[in-house]
Amino acid sequence: MEFKLKSISKNSIPEAISKAELYRNLNEPGEAESICRDILAIEPDNQVALRLLGLAITDQFKGDPSDRCREAEAIFQKLADRYERLYYTGLLHERWAKSQLRAGRSPRIWMSILEEAMRCFEEAEKIRPEGNDDAILRWNRCVRLIQNHFGPEWEREEIEAIDVSDSPPI
**What is the pLDDT at residue 156?**
53
**pLDDT higher than 50, residue 34:** yes
C-beta of residue 39 within 8 angstroms of C-beta of residue 46? yes
User: Counting every residue, how long is the chain?
Assistant: 170
**What is the pLDDT at residue 1?**
87
**What is the pLDDT at residue 87?**
98
Mean pLDDT of 69-76: 98
**What is the pLDDT at residue 155?**
57
**pLDDT higher than 70, residue 19:** yes
The C-alpha atoms of residue 111 and residue 138 are separated, in whole angstroms, by 15
**pLDDT higher than 50, residue 144:** yes
Q: Band of the pLDDT at 170, cuts 50, 70, 90?
A: low
| Alpha carbon 145 to its chain's center | 16
Burial of 59 (0-12, 13-18, 19+ CB in 10 A): middle
**pLDDT higher than 80, residue 138:** yes
**pLDDT higher than 80, residue 165:** no
